[in-house]
Amino acid sequence: MKAIKIILAIIVVVAIAVIATRAIYWGGEQPGVLTTAVSVSKNSFIERIEQEIEELKNAPDSRFSKQEYRDIKYLIEDYHKNERLDPDDSSSNEQLAGNLSQNLYAVYAEKFIQQAFYVFKRTTWKQEDLNFIRSEYQSLQKSARLERNSPVDKKLREIQGVFSAYDEISNFIASSKNFSYSDSGLSARFPISEVKSVCAQVDTYRNNDQGNTYINNCLRLHDELRDIPQHLFSAHVRYLDNKITYWSGLFSNYTSQKAYADNLYTPLRDEIRALDNTVYHAANFDDEYRRLVAKWEADSEKAYSHFNK
């Protein structure tokens, strides 16, 4: 009987030990045991942000992703403000918001750079795309999250270089298109030396790939550079047209046809004849040249009638 009691006591002790061991394994707090048996779920708010950042990373290069960036930025700020990133530790909540914001900036900056160069590699550059890229690269450059001399920083400066070349050529084109000369003095001459300088610069841009590989892709700049000599020719024609109009009918100021011819008709006729198409290579040169000559000859005929009536 005593032996039976001892056996039962041993069984009870073993059973208690087994139960205690299972309790520790499944729900206890012993170091080393819990870590292998229990996996802690990640905060669902953080998971959502990380997932959306990953989707931003995989966004297509063919369209800009600023709205997605703004939406994720709002989420981080909202979750941070309401302490959803770590409800139990405000310091951790702050740190998590900073880390997520830095990650978002890095991913968005990379994606923006890819999208910007997608535009630059095309032949058609839409003005609204250029406006956005210009504004956005400047904003990203100003961010305190940008690491100076990092690959992202270098690429943003490369975008800046594209715009520097683009602006230089665009300003040159605008200035050339507006080139004009309006002095109607009889001794005045259209500034051919300036025209030749402008045409030489056109050739430099066109023969040097416009100074930038990406700029060279832009068909609009190619077309507008090619058209500059025609604009200059039109300016020269306007100058001669206005000058002929200004001096027409003034033959009556002279005492004889010879005086008129020597002092007015011949100098202006020679200036018209000096119009040189080798400077402009204008397609409509012959038509405009003949028109100007005929216009001044018409005044000469009136002068002849005046002095021989």
Q: What angle do CA 267, 272, 276 make, to 5 degrees?
A: 130
Specify whether 19 is located in the same domain as 50.
no
Look up tokens 């018209």; give the residue: 272
Residue whose C-alpha is closest to residue 77's, from 50, 98, 106, 103: 98
Specify whether 73 is located in the same domain as 96.
yes
CB-based contact 217:123 (threshold 8 Å):
yes
pLDDT tens profile 244-264: 999 999 999 999 999 999 999
- pLDDT of the residue at 212: 80
CB-based contact 43:76 (threshold 8 Å):
no
Q: How confident is the model at residue 10 (pLDDT cuts 50, 70, 90)?
A: very low
Specify whether 31 is located in the same domain as 66.
no
Could you give the maximum distance between any two Cα atoms of the chain, in Å? 166
Specify whether 216 is located in the same domain as 109.
no
* Domain coverage including residue 94: 44-122
Burial of 293 (0-12, 13-18, 19+ CB in 10 A): middle
Specify whether 115 is located in the same domain as 180.
no
Determine the average pLDDT of the residues in 131-146: 98
Look up tokens 């709205």; give the residue: 67
pLDDT tens profile 37-80: 333 346 999 999 999 999 999 999 999 999 999 999 999 999 99
Specify whether 86 is located in the same domain as 27.
no
Alpha carbon 121 to its chain centroid, in Å, reads 12
Look up tokens 């059973």; give the residue: 15
Q: Is residue 136 part of a domain?
A: no
Q: How far apart, in whole angstroms, are the C-alpha atoms of residue 38 and residue 47? A: 19
pLDDT tens profile 166-215: 999 999 999 999 999 999 999 999 999 999 999 999 999 988 766 688 99
Q: How far apart, in whole angstroms, are the C-alpha atoms of residue 163 and residue 46? A: 38
Residue whose C-alpha is closest to residue 74's, from 100, 93, 106, 113: 100
Specify whether 13 is located in the same domain as 70.
no
Q: How confident is the model at residue 24 (pLDDT cuts 50, 70, 90)?
A: very low
Q: How far apart, in whole angstroms, are the C-alpha atoms of residue 89 and residue 91? A: 5
Specify whether 284 is located in the same domain as 261.
yes
Count: domains in the chain = 3
Specify whether 189 is located in the same domain as 104.
no
Sequence-separated contacts (24+) of 205-211 with Cβ below 8 Å: 205/169, 205/172, 210/165, 210/169, 211/165, 211/168, 211/169
Q: Is residue 282 part of a domain?
A: yes
Specify whether 300 is located in the same domain as 267.
yes
Question: In what helix (H) or strand (E) does residue 3 lie, and over which residues does it extend?
Answer: helix 2-27
Residue whose C-alpha is closest to residue 97's, from 74, 79, 82, 109: 79
Q: How far apart, in whole angstroms, are the C-alpha atoms of residue 216 and residue 208? A: 9
Q: Is residue 185 part of a domain?
A: yes
3-state secondary structure of 33: coil
Q: Is residue 234 part of a domain?
A: yes
Specify whether 74 is located in the same domain as 22.
no
Specify whether 212 is located in the same domain as 303.
yes
